[in-house]
């Protein structure tokens, strides 16, 4: 009798194993961390009652101190992680308009450092653009193409060459160029 070595549980990405929670290094990245935390909640093998205390213990000491008013029975409940997240959002998530402004300013002022590879630059440019898209700021393809070229920190000669050899001013065309 032939046996199949592929267990049906192997298709489950979690397979009952514990997945390390995302690490919050500083509150400037709390929006990204909260996003990663939601993904972690989907894949963790931890019981809901354990999630709040585990995340609390993973926080940097300074941030933990600001959450010490959350009592152990509250953290050690099915909604303990929700209580902790609510507390962190109230304390550290910046006002939406300010966050939107800062994300766009970071995108708009980004310039490729001379020692950064073009591939790393493209990745960072897209990451910054994805950040502003979270705030429903979407730029036309031609504007993105322009920003991509201008922020690449290329010589005027190389910029002219890119403009001259591009068939249509679109973001995808400029990325390929």
The mean pLDDT value for 132-152 works out to: 93
Conformational region of residue 58, where left means phi above 0, alpha means psi within -120 to 50, and beta covers everything else: alpha
The total number of structural domains in the chain stands at 2
How far is Cα 18 from Cα 104, in angstroms, rounded to an integer?
37
**Same domain? 155 vs 140:** yes
Q: Are residues 67 and 105 in the same domain?
A: no
Q: Which two tokens stand for residue 71?
A: 């009592």
* Judgement on whether residues 119 and 149 belong to the same structural domain of the protein: yes
* Joined tokens for residue 78: 């099915």
Q: Is 146 helix (H, G, I), strand (E, B) or coil?
A: helix
Which pLDDT belongs to residue 13? Answer: 45
- What is the rounded average pLDDT of the residues 26-40? 86
Provide mean pLDDT across the span 48-66.
94
Average pLDDT over the chain reads: 87
Report residue 167 as tokens: 């068939």
The secondary element (H helix, E strand) that includes residue 93 is none
Residues 71 and 83 in one domain: yes
143-170 residues labelled b (16+ CB within 10 A) or e (exposed) = ebbbbbbebbeeeeeeeeebeeeeeebe
Say if 6 falls within a structural domain.
Answer: no
Domain, as residue range, for 140:
96-176
Confidence category of residue 4, pLDDT binned at 50, 70, 90: very low
Instruction: Summarize the confidence of residues 7-35 as an average pLDDT.
Output: 71
96: confidence class by pLDDT, cuts 50, 70, 90:
low
Does residue 174 or residue 135 have the better pLDDT? Answer: 174
| pLDDT higher than threshold 90 for residue 75 | yes
In a domain, 11, yes or no: no
């Amino acid at each position: 009798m032939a046996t199949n070595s592929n267990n049906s549980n192997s298709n489950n990405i979690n397979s009952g194993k514990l997945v390390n929670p995302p690490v919050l290094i500083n509150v400037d990245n709390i929006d990204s961390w909260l996003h990663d935390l939601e993904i972690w909640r989907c894949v963790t093998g931890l019981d809901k009652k354990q999630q709040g205390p585990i995340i609390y213990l993973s926080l940097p000491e300074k941030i933990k101190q600001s959450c010490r008013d959350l009592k152990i029975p509250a953290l050690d409940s099915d909604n303990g992680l929700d209580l902790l997240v609510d507390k962190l959002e109230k304390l550290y998530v910046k006002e939406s308009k300010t966050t939107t402004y800062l994300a766009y300013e970071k995108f708009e002022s980004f310039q490729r450092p001379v020692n950064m590879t073009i591939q790393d630059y493209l990745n960072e440019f897209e990451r910054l653009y994805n950040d502003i898209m979270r705030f429903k700021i979407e730029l036309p393809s031609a504007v993105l193409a322009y920003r991509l070229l201008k922020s690449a920190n290329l010589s005027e000669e190389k910029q002219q060459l890119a403009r001259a050899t591009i068939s249509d001013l679109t973001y995808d065309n400029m990325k390929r160029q």
